[in-house]
A and B are shown apart, each in its own frame.
Chain A
Amino acid sequence: MNTLVMISNMILPVVILLIVVIGLGRKLDVYALFIKGAEDGFQTVIKIMPTLIGLMVAVGVLRASGFFDFLSWILTPVVKYLALPAEVVPFILIKMFSSSAATGLALDLFKTYGTDSYIGTLVSLSMSSTETVFYTMSVYFMVVKITKTRYTLTGALIATASGVAASVAIALWMCG
């Protein structure tokens, strides 16, 4: 457990160090490059800001309406044997279709339950170990006009399920 935290805290500094040292070794103008990239990063965030406002408002409205409580009440009997809190289920389902809508739900869960709670940890882990299955498949297959996708969906769903399962196991371990 402590080792995991230690590794986590080492990764970012080590990656930054490697990049800067290699950049200097290649005699690059690392500072100018950093500034140029930072500007792009800045623009990216500005571009996603309207999306985020739209989705956070929609999720906020749903949360305040009491609909999420109703949904959890329905889902609890279904998922209570899976160690999967009913609150997280909508996030996992939406994540298969839209990454930004899922982000809206995740942020709502962070706000409601805290980032370091069991739910917060579980959402964080599932966020990084699952992908937008249906969106990705439709975009990638569309460019080559594939209509018969054969075993792709099965494999993608198995990968997603194992990502969620691993997230549950690790979150349970981290949060006791």
Chain B
Amino acid sequence: MMSYLWGGMIVIGIIYAAFAGNLEAVTDAAIQSAQDAVTLCITMMGVMSMWVGLMEIAKEAGIVERLSKWIGPALRFLFPNVPKGSKAEEYLSLNVIANVLGLGWAATPAGLNAMKELDGLRKQRGLTPGIATNDMCNFLILNISSLQLIPVNLIAYRSSYGSENPAGIIAPAILATLFSTVVAIVFICIVNRFCKEQRGM
């Protein structure tokens, strides 16, 4: 899919430029953008290295683990069918905390494992394969509402494009992402009240 997206952008850009008489500008832009990308990565290397370095300490100190234990009870409320202390609950909490801390590398594997565990629970409850359970839908909606504490990449981008206060975006960004997460939770609660599990055929 990325091939169509990327290829499409290049093809549309060059053909449009040919008709609009902007081919010279396109030449400059192609070269300039490639250079910009490298400059940007150099800024990002500093910020990312710092953040991942700190997170390594947080991980070894058991902070990530501790935080995911704390949010267990809150999650139980959203996933009533997930048993207390189960593997599923552990992976769900870890995925949420990893997303909140901006740990992409830890979030995805935990999330995929959570899905597998939820599918195991589906089997136990005798629900039809191939149809998402309420828990799976709720988990993905929560995941997509993307709660994040510190958007490290964004801060790096903003500082390399000359922001007056790159980190000034942290609190407003938390407000925005908190709002979308609250809406997602309200949606999940309403749906869970009215939508029973669906069985096939």
Contacts and interface: CB of A to CB of B under 8 A. Distances in A.
Given A9-B167, A12-B167, A143-B112, A61 B30 contact: yes
Contacts of B165: 5, 8-9, 116
Q: How large is the interface on A (under 10, 10 to 19, 20 to 34, 35 or more residues)?
A: 35 or more
B41 to A, nearest CB: 5
B52 A44 contact: yes
Interface in A111-159: 111, 114-116, 120-121, 124-131, 133, 136-137, 139-141, 143-152, 155-156, 158-159
A103 B160 CA distance: 14
B151 interface: yes
B164 to A, nearest CB: 5
Nearest to B163: A115
A41 B28 contact: no
B172 A160 contact: no
Contacts of A84: none
B157 A155 contact: no
Contact of B52 (A40, A67, A129, A144): A40
A151 B137 contact: yes
B87 interface: no
A100 B44 CA distance: 15
A139 B54 CA distance: 29
A131 to B, nearest CB: 4
Interface of A: 4-5, 7-9, 11-12, 15-16, 19-20, 22-23, 25-26, 28, 30, 33-42, 44-46, 48-49, 52-67, 70, 94, 97-98, 101, 103, 106-107, 110-111, 114-116, 120-121, 124-131, 133, 136-137, 139-141, 143-152, 155-156, 158-160, 162-163, 165-167, 170-171, 174
Interface of B: 1-2, 5-6, 9-10, 12-14, 16-17, 20, 22, 25-26, 28-30, 32-34, 36-38, 40-41, 44-45, 48-58, 60-63, 105, 108, 111-112, 115-116, 118-119, 129-132, 136-138, 140-141, 143-146, 148-151, 153-154, 157-158, 161-173, 175-177, 179-181, 183-184, 187-188, 191, 195, 198, 200
